[in-house]
């Protein structure tokens, strides 16, 4: 059975995916820099200084950049051992509530992130490290990821609330936890895409 696509994913999916890919390339670049740093220390006796600091910033930034794409792909963990046994109307209410709470958490995190950035700008805060990094730089990138996550979460929560009134069955299909059949279908689609890509090679 074909999946019922979420209409919001058509508009919010590409920019969210772009941010996640950007984070992935950043991690790849950091891994090469880290290898160079390790080899430089062991073999050549020099250090780039600050790779560990950049790695710490990267953990926070890349995580926030991926939040929105994880939401679009329904990759956030949900405990659903009881949800599937409930009546459909109650499931619809709980699914809508789950997205409303997620949106509230995302907005709260973004607001708190802005407070952190605003304080760093106010006091011209720098890291107490050899790099003396102006903290507004990593914090701005981190906040951008949180803001993207909040935008997607709020849009999904509003759509779920509308479906709660208009079409509860579709609400459960779009915003309920991913089912085993959907997981199998997604994996099969990914395998077929990889196979098609190999067949296209000369």
pLDDT digits (tens, 9 = 90+) for 163-183: 999 999 999 999 998 766 666
Residue 96 lies in a domain: yes
Q: Computed over its alpha carbons, how large is the radius of gyration of the chain?
A: 21
For the chain, counts of helices (H) and of strands (E) = 6, 0
Establish if 193 belongs to a structural domain.
Answer: yes
Number of domains in the chain: 1
Check residue 181 and give left, alpha or beta (phi > 0: left; psi -120 to 50: alpha).
alpha
In a domain, 81, yes or no: yes
pLDDT digits (tens, 9 = 90+) for 74-95: 888 887 778 878 899 999 999 9
Residues pairing with 126 in the sheet: 134
DSSP per-residue letters across 39-59: HIIIII----S-HHHHHHHHH
Tokens linked to 189: 């689609």
State the pTM of this model. 0.85
Structure token pair of residue 103: 């949106």
pLDDT at 167: 95
- Examine residue 83 and state whether it is found in any structural domain, yes or no: yes
The CA distance from 61 to 122, in Å, is 21
CA distance linking residue 57 with residue 117, whole number of Å = 14
φ/ψ of residue 126, rounded to 5: -125, 155
Q: What is the pLDDT of residue 90?
A: 95
Task: Look at residue 184 in the predicted model and tell me its pLDDT.
Answer: 72
Residue found by looking up tokens 């405990």 in the block: 79
Provide the percentage of residues in the chain whose pLDDT is more than 90.
Answer: 67
| Residue of 157, 141, 149 lying closest to 96 (CA atoms) | 157
Query: Does residue 1 lie in a domain region?
Result: no
In a domain, 4, yes or no: no
Each residue's pLDDT tens digit, 27-77: 999 999 999 888 888 888 877 778 889 999 999 999 999 999 999 998 888
Rounded to whole angstroms, the Cα distance separating 49 from 179 reads 47
Q: Using CA atoms, how far apart are residues 127 and 177, in angstroms rounded to an integer?
A: 41
Domain hosting residue 134, numbered range = 9-200
Q: What is the mean pLDDT of the chain?
A: 89
Joined together, the tokens standing for residue 88 give 């459909």
Task: Answer whether residue 2 is part of any domain.
Answer: no
pLDDT at 181: 67
Tokens describing residue 57 = 């910033």
Q: If pLDDT is split at 50, 70 and 90, which confidence band does 1 have?
A: very low
In a domain, 85, yes or no: yes
Least Cα distance to 135 among 123, 147, 143, 127 occurs for 127
């Amino acid at each position: 059975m074909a999946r019922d696509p979420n209409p919001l994913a058509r508009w919010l999916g590409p920019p969210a995916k772009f941010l996640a890919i950007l984070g992935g390339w950043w991690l790849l670049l950091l891994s090469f820099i880290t290898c160079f740093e390790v080899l430089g220390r062991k073999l050549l006796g020099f250090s780039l200084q600050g790779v560990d600091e950049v790695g710490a910033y990267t953990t926070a930034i890349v995580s926030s950049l991926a939040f929105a794409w994880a939401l679009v792909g329904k990759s956030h963990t949900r405990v659903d051992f009881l949800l599937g046994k409930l009546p459909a109307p109650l499931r619809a209410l709980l699914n809508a509530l789950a997205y409303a709470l997620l949106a509230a958490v995302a907005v709260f995190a973004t607001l708190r992130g802005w407070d952190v950035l605003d304080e760093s700008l106010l006091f011209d805060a720098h890291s107490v490290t050899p790099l003396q990094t102006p903290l507004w730089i990593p914090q701005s990138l981190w906040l951008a990821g949180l803001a993207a996550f909040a935008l997607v979460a709020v849009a999904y929560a509003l759509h779920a609330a509308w479906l709660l009134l208009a079409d509860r069955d579709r609400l459960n299909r779009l915003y309920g936890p991913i089912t085993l059949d959907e997981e199998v279908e997604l994996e099969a689609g990914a395998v077929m895409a990889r196979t098609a890509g190999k067949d296209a090679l000369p």
